[in-house]
Chains A and B, each alone.
Chain A
Amino acid sequence: MRSAKGKLLILSLVLLILFLVSVSMGRVFIRGTDLLTLVINFFSNNETAKDLLSRELVFWWIRVPRCCMAILVGSGLAVSGAVYQALFRNPLVSPDILGVSAGCTFGAALGLVLPFDSFYLVHILSFGFGLVAVSMSMALARVIALKSVMILVLAGMVILSFFNALLMILKYFSDPYEQLPSIIFWVMGSLSKVTWENVLVMAPFTLAGILLFVALGFRLNILSLGDIQATSLGMTPSFFRRLLILASSFMVAISVATCGQIAWIGLIIPHMARAIAGPEHERMIPMTALLGAIFLLTADTLARTISTAEIPVGIITALTGAPIFGYLMVKNRGSGWL
């Protein structure tokens, strides 16, 4: 068996190659030699030859930010899913369970329906309502204050249904020719409108989140034993649960607010990582981040190359995610976990 570090290195190389393939693919194909020229020109401030100018624009202003975004969103969603699964001690948990995505989607839909025609407003409302939904779930669970984890899941279901109902009201009253399609497109998730600005807002939070989870990897193992054992091993589970839920919800909210709902990544990628690196979080969290990036980058490349019209990437992730999850369940049966 190869060491965990070796596997991480191999997957990093895979991600790098995939990145290079992905930036050259699309409606405008960029050859390897042109790619090299573009990068060299950028760093040496050379003038770009006229026939390369259009490709330069596509490369630096559309492809590269989009691929960076796929990597950030993929790893962020996957790692949040891994943290949620550890905290809830449940393999079927994804970051949606406390209503983040539902809140974000409602917020975005509200932004799209409101008369102000501002794209910023959509992002901000989406992000805000995502965090509001999670906070409501946690507050509700706190008021009930019985067996904490189980109650938190139930409170999450309540809040999630509530925001889905609100979303339905918005859909029902929205203009069916202009607003409804944009809401539906949002729900399916897409990376097509990504700009450098989005990437620069997103990157620090995603990287900080991943670093936090990698640093607390061993503590996640202990938290996954349940409150009584974690306390007897010297931790204060309620504090760490709140901290980690807020941090991972923050990452999910910022993803959904920028790219819409991209399904299945938070659920299946942690399972794949566990199959490769083992269940210990100090080893599986970095693996989860890498696999999430690879998965979404692949899905997004397919989404924009498979046909002339772009397919929403959420459809590709759901379409491939479901069978992969089924396969993993068959493969891992009998480990006492599934």
Chain B
Amino acid sequence: MAIVLECRDLSFSYRQVPVLDHISFKVHAGRFCAILGRNGSGKTTLLHCLNKIIPLDSGKVLIFGKNITDLNQNQIARQISLVPQEHLDIFPYRVIDVVVMGRAPFLRLSQRPGPADYKIAHDALNFLNAGSLALKNFNQISGGERQMCLLARAVTQTKHLMLLDEPTNHLDFNNQYHLLSAIKSLCRSKGISIVATLHDPNMAALFADDLIMVKDNTLMEQGPARQVMTQKNISALYEIPLGTVKINEQKKLFFPESVLKGPPEPMDPNQRTKEETKGGS
């Protein structure tokens, strides 16, 4: 399997505090690779290092064997797109005008997108079944629709590698599955490689092919989901005792032990009133 991205011994520190410490992994073509880790473990920083939004302190990132420090930002953008986490309100652009921005790395500096570029953008929206959004105001669509629009922009931008920063953040139950299924289908039908940071290990268990587990700024574990999605690893990663729920022969979901044991018995209402009166007196 072709290697799309390789990360060798990557380190980054912010004001002498190490954020990422000697991280190495590979991303193969057409695979969905999820980065898991607790808040503040350096997931987003790692993602931003991969397309030079943040410069590395040491180590290398290779895209198709080429060191990204030897490429300019435009050359990187042709290979690697990003679906960002932040959703600040911008000017009231139409969705299609946001999607067509994905063509920017392929245009000359003073060139504006032409009909061919708009066609690519429309195709990307249609591929994600979001063609009806095209003429809507980006600021007035729902969070799920915005993520779809940004995903379409990433599809417009590159056929090789997509980085997604917490793509399911702020999405409702339906939209989380809808979005991850769409991402997975991009992997399968277009052969696009995905690197996504995810909050929920169960989402990773359901959708990811490979995993990168980041703990205390270092790589804790990596490999295909079948090998590394174990109770022991997830429990160590999130520092909480876990139980599992088996959904089929290959896949199981993880929940904190305390939740699986069942919720604590509700307090006897009489008891509580007594205690409250005691406290009040």
A231 CB–B CB distance under 8 Å: yes
Specify which chain A residues have a CB less than 8 angstroms from the CB of B86 in the assembled complex: 226, 228
Most chain B CB neighbours (cut-off 10 Å) among A215, A224, A234: A234
B82 touches A229 (CB 8 A): yes
Partner of A89, one of B80, B88, B109, B111: B88
B90 touches A234 (CB 8 A): no
Partner of A228, one of B48, B105, B137: B48
A279 touches B82 (CB 8 A): no
Specify which chain B residues have a CB less than 8 angstroms from the CB of A336 in the assembled complex: 89, 92, 137-140
Specify which chain A residues have a CB less than 8 angstroms from the CB of B73 in the assembled complex: 231, 234-236
Most chain A CB neighbours (cut-off 10 Å) among B52, B107, B110, B138: B110
* Closest chain B residue, CB of each to CB of A279: B91
Specify which chain B residues have a CB less than 8 angstroms from the CB of A89 in the assembled complex: 88, 90
A188 to B92, CA, bound (A): 34
A42 CB–B CB distance under 8 Å: no
Chain A, residues 218-238, CB within 8 Å of chain B (1/0): the string is 110110111011011111100
Count chain A residues whose beta carbon lies closer than 8 angstroms to a beta carbon of B.
29
* Closest chain A residue, CB of each to CB of B154: A232
Task: For the complex formed, measure the closest distance between the CB of A291 and the CB atoms of chain B, giving whole angstroms.
Answer: 17
A21 CB–B CB distance under 8 Å: no
Specify which chain B residues have a CB less than 8 angstroms from the CB of A225 in the assembled complex: 90, 101
Specify which chain B residues have a CB less than 8 angstroms from the CB of A216 in the assembled complex: 109-110
A88 to B48, CA, bound (A): 22
Specify which chain B residues have a CB less than 8 angstroms from the CB of A222 in the assembled complex: 101, 104
A217 to B89, CA, bound (A): 19
A218 touches B107 (CB 8 A): yes
Specify which chain B residues have a CB less than 8 angstroms from the CB of A335 in the assembled complex: 92, 137, 139-140
B84 touches A224 (CB 8 A): no
A337 to B139, CA, bound (A): 8
Specify which chain A residues have a CB less than 8 angstroms from the CB of B82 in the assembled complex: 228-229, 232
Assuming the A-B contacts A279-B93, A336-B140, are A217 and B112 also in contact, with contact meaning beta carbons closer than 8 angstroms in the complex?
A: yes
A226 touches B88 (CB 8 A): yes
Partner of B97, one of A221, A231, A233: A221
* Closest chain B residue, CB of each to CB of A85: B91
CB contact list, B89-124 vs A, under 8 A: 89-94, 97, 101-102, 104-105, 107, 109-113
A55 CB–B CB distance under 8 Å: no
* Closest chain B residue, CB of each to CB of A234: B77
CB contact list, B64-90 vs A, under 8 A: 73-78, 80-82, 84, 86, 88-90
Chain B, residues 135-164, CB within 8 Å of chain A (1/0): the string is 001111000000000000000010000010
- Seen from chain B, the residues whose Cβ lies within 8 Å of a Cβ on chain A are 48, 51-53, 73-78, 80-82, 84, 86, 88-94, 97, 101-102, 104-105, 107, 109-113, 137-140, 157, 163
- Seen from chain A, the residues whose Cβ lies within 8 Å of a Cβ on chain B are 86, 89, 215-219, 221-222, 224-226, 228-229, 231-236, 274, 278-280, 282, 334-337
Contacts A224-B90, A234-B104 supplied; 10 other A-B pairs, CB < 8 Å? A86-B91, A219-B104, A222-B101, A222-B104, A228-B82, A231-B73, A233-B101, A233-B102, A234-B74, A336-B89
